[in-house]
Amino acid sequence: MIKKVFLCILCAVLLIPAFAQEKKAKSGINYDNMDTSVNPGDDFFKYATGNWIKYNPQPPIYPMWGSFTKLDDDNTKAVAGIIQDIAKQRSKKGTIEQKIGDLYRLSMDSVRRNKEGAAPVLAEINKIKAISTREELLQYMTREHDNLLWSLYIGVDDKNATQHIVSINQGGLSMGNRDYYLSKDPNIVKIRQAAIKHYENLFKLCGYSAKEAKKNVKTIWKLETKLAKASYSIEQMRDPEANYHKMSVSELSKTCNGFDWASYLRNYGYDQTNEVLLGQPEPVALACNMMMKESLENLKLIYIWRAIQGGSSYLSDDFVAENFEFRRSISGAQEMTPRWQRSVDLVSSLLNDAVGQMYVKKYFPPEAKTRMLELVRNLQVCLGERIKAQEWMSDETKNVALDKLNAYYVKIGYPDKWDDLSKLVINPDKSLYENVIEAGRFYFELDKQKNYNKPVDRDEWQMPAQMVNAYYNPTTNEICFPAGILQPPFFDMEADDATNYGAIGVVIGHEMTHGFDDQGSQYDKDGNLHTWWAENDVKAFKLATEKMAVYFDSLWVIPGELRSNGRQCLGENIADHGGINIAYDALQMAQKKHGRLPNENGFTPEQRFFLSFANVWAGVSSEQILRYLTINDVHSANHLRVNGGVAQSEYWYKAFNIKPADKLYVDPKERVNIW
C-alpha cells in the first residue's frame, strides 16, 4: 500500500442522478446561492455562496454541511440502493453478492449485536490477558499484524521510487495528533477531558468497574503523553527529507535501543527484509524502549485498549452511542448517523473495489473520460506556459520542471484492474466484529502479495473509483481523478466552459500544482526525492512560499478566536493558488479557440469562473469542526480556500474590479506569485 499519497483536494462522495435531474441554467451556476448584498471584494465566499444554506437546509447529523457533504449524502443513498437490493436476496456462498449482502445484514442486525454486547471484543481481551511474557506479547502483536506504539506498512522508497520497502513511522497515539496531549489551549483541554471520560466509559461498557476504568485510562494517557512529547508535529511530518532514514535492519535495531527488529519483522511476515525506511527516529526509538522496559501489564493494557477502541463501532448500540457522544463533543454533530447509512458506509469501505465496479457500471458515463482528457491536456499546456513565464526561476530549472510536467501519469475514472476479492470471507455465523477483523487479515495478505519486495505498479490506484476526490502521488508522478469527481458540480457535461474550468479545471490544476508545491517539488519526474532545482531557484521559491504561509497565518478561521495555520496548510494553499491561475488561463485558451462565451445573468465568463470555483466550497461548519480541522487537516477552512485563494489571484481583481478599499484587497507587492 503506497502511503505517500498525501496531496488530496476533496473529502466526499457524489451521486450522479440527483444532479442530472436538477433543473439549472445553461452555465450550470445557481445564482440563487449568491448573497449580492455583500461586496465581493469584502467577502467573496459569502457573496458567491451566502444563500446556499437557505436552499440546502443542514441535516442535524452533519456538523459540516456543504456541497461535498450534500453530495456525499446523496451518494450514500445511491450506493445504498445497490447494496440494499443485493441484501434483499440470498446469494450463493462465496460470491461478491453474498459478501455484500451478509456484511450489510450483519451491520443492520441490531437485535443480534445488542444481544452479543461486548462479547466479541471480550474474547480478544481474554486472549491478551492470558499472555504471560513480553515475548508472547510481541508474538501476539506480530501474528495479528497489530503495532501498539508505531506504524508498520509496505511503502515506497522515496529515493528509489520504482521499489517498495517496509516503512516504519511514529504511532501509538489514540488521539492521533500530539497537540491533544500537550496543548494548553482551553478548547483542546476540553477535548482532552472529554476523551478521557470517553475512554473510561468504553472500559465500563466492557465490564470494568468505574474505579478500574479510571485507573486504566490514567495509565494509558500517561504512556501516550510520553510518546506525544517525542512525536513529530503535522508541520514536521510534511518535510520529506526530514522523514527519510533508510537503513539496514541491524542499524534499525541499534537506532531503537537494541530492540530485536529482525525477529519482529520475521514473525510479522516480512521475513525477507534487509532494509527499511524509518520515518521518525526519535518517537519510534522511544516506543521500542517502552516495549522493552515498560511493565508487561501496562503494555497488555494498551493492547486491550486498542482492541476496545478499534472494535467499538462494530459492537452493540451502547458502544455506538458512546462513540457518537464523544464525536459530538469534537464535531458539534447534533444527531447520530442512522444505522442504514453507517452500514452502507461500512460495506462500501470494506468492499470498496466490488462496490466501485458496480458504481462505475451504473453511473459513470464513458464520454466523461474523453472530455476530461481534453481538459487535462489543456491544463497541462497552461501550467507549462506559466512555468516558462516565471521570472524568479532559471531556464535550467524550468526545463527540468517541464520534463516533470510532461511525464505526469494521468488516471481517469477507474482502474483497469480490480482487486480479486474471491478469498475474502464474510461469514454470517460470526459476529460483525470478527468479520471486520478477518477482512483486515485478508487485506494484509493481499497487500503483501502485491507489494512486498516487489516493484511499484504504477497502474495501482490509491482511491476508490466511487470517491469524489483527486490526488497527486509524488513517487509515481501521477494525477488521478476517480469517476466520482467527474460529475456536477465539479464537471458538468451540460455546462459551459466558464463553469467547468472554475470547478473541475481548478481541481485538475490543483493536483498538477501539487507536483510543484513545497513537498511535491522535492521529487523529480521519476518520483525520486532529491534536489533538481538550481540553488538560487530554491531560495526564490522558499521566499514566495513563506509569503503564502504568512498570509494564511493572518486569516481568521473563527473571527477573533482562531487563526489559520499557514505552514500546516501550505501545500494545499499553493495548489489552490496554482489551480485557480492555471484553470483561468485554460478558460481563456478555450475561448480563443471556440469563441468568447456570452455574458449570463449580468456576469462575464471570467466572473462565472470565480463564482463556480466558490460554489464548490459552499456550506457551513460548526465551530467545533472548524477547530478540529484547524488542528488536524492540511487544508484551509472552506471559506479561507475561497477568500484566500481569490485574494492572491490577479485575475480575480480584474474580473470584479476589486479596489484597495475592499477588505480582501492585498497590495500587488504583497501578493504571492508562485505558479
Could you read off the pLDDT of 67-82 as tens digits, one per residue? 888 887 888 888 999 9
Per-residue pLDDT at 10: 42
- Return the percentage of the chain with pLDDT > 70, whole number: 96
Cα–Cα–Cα angle for 438, 166, 533, rounded to 5 degrees:
135
- Where residue 367 falls among pLDDT bands split at 50, 70, 90? confident
Could you read off the pLDDT of 656-673 as tens digits, one per residue? 999 999 999 999 999 998
- Return the percentage of the chain with pLDDT > 90, whole number: 88
Q: Specify which residues 621 forms β-bridges with.
A: 64
Lowest mean pLDDT among 433-442, 500-509, 645-654: 500-509
Element (H, E) at 325: helix 317-331
**Residue 240 reports pLDDT greater than 90:** yes
Determine contact, residues 355/362, Cβ cutoff 8 Å: no
Determine contact, residues 5/473, Cβ cutoff 8 Å: yes
Secondary structure (3-state) at 168: strand
Would residue 657 be called left, alpha or beta, if left means φ above 0 and alpha means ψ between -120 and 50 degrees? left
Strands lying side by side in the sheet with 478-482: 7-8, 471-473, 478-482, 409-413
Mean of pLDDT over the chain: 93
Determine contact, residues 649/584, Cβ cutoff 8 Å: yes
**Once rounded to an integer, what is the mean pLDDT over residues 377-383?**
93
**Once rounded to an integer, what is the mean pLDDT over residues 263-274?**
96
Determine contact, residues 341/80, Cβ cutoff 8 Å: yes
**Residue 528 reports pLDDT greater than 70:** yes
**Once rounded to an integer, what is the mean pLDDT over residues 271-298?**
97
With 0-12 / 13-18 / 19 or more C-beta atoms within 10 angstroms meaning exposed / middle / buried, residue 506 is: buried
Q: 49: which 3 cell numbers?
A: 455562496
Lowest mean pLDDT among 1-15, 247-261, 331-345: 1-15
Q: Are strands 619-621 and 64-66 parallel, antiparallel or unpaired?
A: antiparallel
**Residue 184 reports pLDDT greater than 50:** yes
Lowest mean pLDDT among 114-128, 188-202, 248-262, 490-504: 490-504
Query: Pick from 223, 221, 219, 195: which is nearest to 283 by CA?
Result: 223
Q: Are strands 12-13 and 471-473 parallel, antiparallel or unpaired?
A: unpaired
Secondary structure percentages of the chain, helix, strand, coil, to 5: 55, 10, 35
Fold of 8-19+37-55+364-415+461-670: Collagenase (Catalytic Domain) (3.40.390)
**Residue 15 reports pLDDT greater than 70:** no
**Residue 16 reports pLDDT greater than 60:** no
**Once rounded to an integer, what is the mean pLDDT over residues 116-128?**
97
Positive or negative, the Cα torsion across 439, 445, 448, 451?
Answer: negative
- Where residue 21 falls among pLDDT bands split at 50, 70, 90? very low
**Residue 523 reports pLDDT greater than 60:** yes
**Residue 20 reports pLDDT greater than 80:** no
Per-residue pLDDT at 26: 60
Distance CA 435, CA 441 (A): 10
Neighbours of 250 (CB within 10 A): 11
**Residue 457 reports pLDDT greater than 80:** yes
Determine contact, residues 552/571, Cβ cutoff 8 Å: no
Per-residue pLDDT at 368: 82
Determine contact, residues 674/544, Cβ cutoff 8 Å: yes
Element (H, E) at 290: helix 281-293
DSSP string, 66-123: EHHHHHHHHHHHHHHHHHHHHHTSPPPTTSHHHHHHHHHHHHH-HHHHHHHTTHHHHH
CATH 1.10.1380.10, domain 133-294, yes or no: yes
- Where residue 375 falls among pLDDT bands split at 50, 70, 90? confident
**Residue 24 reports pLDDT greater than 80:** no
**Residue 422 reports pLDDT greater than 50:** yes
Q: 212: which 3 cell numbers?
A: 478500574
The structural domains of the chain, with segments of one domain joined by +, span: 8-19+37-55+364-415+461-670, 133-294
The length of the chain in residues reads 675
Per-residue pLDDT at 3: 39
**Residue 214 reports pLDDT greater than 90:** yes
Distance CA 495, CA 190 (A): 47
Per-residue pLDDT at 370: 85
Per-residue pLDDT at 674: 87
HEC string of 330-380 equals HHCCCCCCCHHHHHHHHHHHHCHHHHHHHHHHHHCCHHHHHHHHHHHHHHH
Element (H, E) at 627: helix 623-632
Distance CA 143, CA 72 (A): 37
Per-residue pLDDT at 27: 65
Distance CA 272, CA 78 (A): 44
Per-residue pLDDT at 73: 86
Could you read off the pLDDT of 437-449 as tens digits, one per residue? 999 999 999 999 9
Could you read off the pLDDT of 295-347 as tens digits, one per residue? 999 999 999 999 999 999 999 999 999 999 999 999 999 999 999 999 999 99
Determine contact, residues 200/213, Cβ cutoff 8 Å: yes
Determine contact, residues 13/484, Cβ cutoff 8 Å: yes
**Once rounded to an integer, what is the mean pLDDT over residues 504-521?**
93
Q: Which residue has the cell 517498495?
A: 164
Distance CA 180, CA 173 (A): 10
Q: Which residue has the cell 473571527?
A: 559
Distance CA 214, CA 81 (A): 44
**Residue 6 reports pLDDT greater than 90:** no
Q: Specify which residues 563 forms β-bridges with.
A: 556
**Residue 217 reports pLDDT greater than 50:** yes
Query: Pick from 451, 499, 531, 506: which is nearest to 603 by CA?
Result: 499
Secondary structure (3-state) at 555: coil
The reported pTM is 0.92
Residue type, 396: E
**Once rounded to an integer, what is the mean pLDDT over residues 194-214?**
98
Q: 392: which 3 cell numbers?
A: 524568479
Neighbours of 408 (CB within 10 A): 18
**Residue 510 reports pLDDT greater than 60:** yes
Helices and strands in the chain: count of H runs, count of E runs: 30, 14
Query: Pick from 67, 191, 34: which is nearest to 507 by CA?
Result: 67
Residue type, 348: S
Most confident of 283-287, 489-493, 499-503, 670-674: 283-287
Torsion of CA 57, 59, 65, 70, to 10 degrees: -80
Per-residue pLDDT at 68: 80
Residues sharing a CB contact under 8 Å with residue 354, sequence separation 6 or more, in sequence order:
96, 99, 100, 418, 421
**Once rounded to an integer, what is the mean pLDDT over residues 408-418?**
94
Please compute Rg for the chain using Cα positions.
25
Could you read off the pLDDT of 26-50 as tens digits, one per residue? 668 999 999 999 999 999 999 999 9
Distance CA 245, CA 233 (A): 17
Residue type, 33: N
